[in-house]
Structure 1
Amino acid sequence: MASLTTDGISSTLGQYSGITANDIITLLQSSAAYQNETNAQNKISSIQTQENAWNAISTQLTLFSTKVKALQSDDTYLTKAATTTDSSIATISGTTAASQDTYDLKVDQLATATSITGTRISTSSKTKLGLDGTLTLTSPDTDSSGKALTFDIKLDSSDTLNTVATKINALTSDSTDADGQTTQGSHIRASVVDNHLVLTSTTSGAKTISAGGDSSVVDGLGLGSGATTTSGQNAKFELDGMSIERDSNTITDVVDGTTFNLNKVSDSHVTLSLTNDTSKITSAVQDMVNSYNTLMSTISSDLSVGDPTQTNNTTGPLAGDNDLIQLQSSLSSLITNPKVAGSTMNASSVGISFVDKNGTLGVDTDKLQAAINNDPTAVKNFFYSAKTTASGLVTISSSGYSQGILDLVNKYLSGVTGALTANKSIIQIKTDGYQSQIKDLNSQISDFENTLEMQKQQYIDTFTRLDQAMMEGQSQLSYFTSSSSTLNSSANQS
Structure 2
Amino acid sequence: MSGLTIDGISSTLGQYSGVTAGTIEKLLTASSIYQRKTDTENEITEIENKESAWSTINSELSTFLDKVEVLQSDDTYLTKTATSSDSSVATISGTTAAAEDSYDLKVDQLATATKVTGSKLDVTGTKTALNIAGTLTLTNSDTDSQSASVTISSTDTLKSLAQKINALTNDSTDSNGNATEGTHIKASIVDNRLVLTSTTQGANTISLSGEDSSGNELADDLGLGSQATTSTGQSAIFELDGMTITRNTNTVTDAVEGVTFNLNQVSDEDVTLSLTNDTSNIVSAVQDMVSSYNTLMSTIKDDLDVGDPSSSSNTTGPLVGDSELMLLESSLSSMVTSSKVSGSSLNATDLGISFSDIKGTLSVDTDKLESAISKDATAVKNFFYSAKTTSDGNYVISTSGYTSDLSDLVNKYISTDSLLGTSIIGNIQSSYKSQVEELNDQVDTFDDQLDTLKEQYIEKYTALDEAIMEGEEELSEFTSASSSLSS
Task: Report the counterpart of residue 8 of structure 1 in structure 2.
Answer: 8
1:466 aligns with 2:464: yes
SS in 2 for 1:142: coil
Aligned pair partner of 2:475 in 474, 477, 481? 477
**Is the aligned partner of 1:430 residue 2:431?**
no
C-alpha separation between the residues in 2 aligned to 1:44 and 1:168? 61
The alpha-carbon distance between structure 1 residues 194 and 20, as it changes in their structure 2 partners (threshold 3 A), is closer
The residue correspondences of 1:66-145 to structure 2 (distance < 5 A) are 66-115=66-115, 138-142=139-143
The superposition leaves residues 145-168 of structure 1 with CA deviations (integer Å, 9 ceiling, x where unpaired) of xxxx656677788888x5698379
Give secondary structure in 2 for the equivalent of 1:264: coil
Give ranges in structure 2 of 5+ residues lacking alignment: none
In structure 2, distance between residues paired with 1:320 and 1:32: 30
1:331 CA displacement: 1.3
Do the aligned partners of 1:13 and 1:463 also contact (CA within 8 Å) in 2?
A: yes
Deviation at 1:270, TM superposition (A): 0.9
Q: 1:480 to 1:207 in 2, by over 3 A?
A: closer
Unaligned runs of 5+ in 1: 416-421, 490-494
Structure 1 residue 269: deviation in Å? 0.8
Cα displacement (A) at 1:256? 1.5
Structure 1-normalised TM-score? 0.82
Q: CA deviation at 1:212?
A: 6.3
Q: 1:204 maps to what in 2?
A: 201
State the match for 1:333 in structure 2: 334
- Match of 1:293? 294
| Partner SS for 1:256 | coil
Matched residues in 2 for 1:39 and 1:134: separation? 79
* SS of equivalent to 2:358: coil
Q: Tell me by how many angstroms 1:340 deviates.
A: 0.9
Contact kept in structure 2, 1:165 and 1:197, CA below 8 Å: no
Q: Which amino acid aligns with 1:23?
A: T
Comparing 149-158 and 41-50, the one that deviates more: 149-158
Q: Distance in 2 between matches of 1:447 and 1:112?
A: 80
Q: Distance in 2 between matches of 1:153 and 1:446?
A: 68
Q: CA deviation at 1:261?
A: 1.6
Letter in 2 for 1:24: I
Return the alpha-carbon distance in structure 1 between the equivalents of residues 373 and 95 of structure 2.
13
Question: Taking structure 1 as reference, are residues 477 and 63 closer, same or farther at Cα in structure 2, changes over 3 Å only?
Answer: same
Per the alignment, do residues 447 and 136 of structure 1 end up closer, same or farther by CA in structure 2, a change over 3 Å counting? closer
Q: 1:107 to 1:423 in 2, by over 3 A?
A: same
Secondary structure at the aligned position of 1:49 is classed as helix
Q: Which residue of 2 aligns with 1:178?
A: 174
Q: Which residue of 1 aligns with 2:60?
A: 60
User: Counterpart amino acid of 1:204?
Assistant: Q
Report deviation, 1:87.
Answer: 1.0
Distance in structure 2 (CA, Å) of the matches to 1:41 and 1:165: 68
How many Å apart are 1:268 and its aligned residue?
1.0
1:332-371 Cα deviation digits (max 9, x unpaired) = 2211225312312111222222223332222222222222
Residue 71 of structure 2 contacts residue 385 of structure 2 at CA under 8 Å; is this kept in 1? yes
Corresponding pairs, count: 473
Deviation sequence 1:135-189 (CA, Å, 0-9, x none): 7655232358xxxx656677788888x5698379537723426345444444445
Please say if residues 338 and 347 of structure 2, whose CA atoms lie closer than 8 Å, have aligned partners that are also in contact: yes
CA distance in 2: counterparts of 1:170 and 1:101, whole angstroms: 41
Per-residue deviation at 1:435? 3.0
Match of 1:418 in 2: none
Partner secondary structure for residue 27 of structure 1: helix
Q: Which moved more, 1:447-456 or 1:15-24?
A: 447-456
Q: For residues 285-339 of structure 1, what are the alpha-carbon distances to aligned partners after superposition, in whole Å with 9 as ceiling and x for unaligned? A: 2221121111111112222222334332222222222222222222122112253
For the residues of structure 2 that align with 1:470 and 1:192, how far apart are their CA atoms? 103
Counterparts of residues 289-438 of structure 1 (less than 5 Å): 289-337=290-338, 339-414=340-415, 425-438=423-436
Aligned pair in 2 of structure 1 residues 281, 33: CA closer, same or farther (>3 Å)? same
Letter in 1 for 2:291: N
- The answer to which of 340-349 and 218-227 deviates more is 218-227
Asked if structure 2 preserves the Cα contact closer than 8 Å seen for 1:131 and 1:216, the reply is no
- 1:210, distance to aligned residue in structure 2 (A): 4.9
Q: Is the 8 A contact 1:116 1:229 kept in 2?
A: yes
Local SS of the residue matching 1:437: helix
What does 1:223-262 correspond to in 2, within 5 Å? 230-262=231-263
1:114–1:232 Cα contact (<8 Å) kept: yes
> Could you tell me whether the CA contact under 8 Å between 1:11 and 1:21 is conserved in 2?
no
Give the RMSD, CA atoms, in angstroms.
3.6
Partners of 1:129 and 1:20 lie apart in 2 by 94
Secondary structure of residue in 1 paired with 2:62: helix
CA distance in 1, matches of 2:407, 2:130: 62
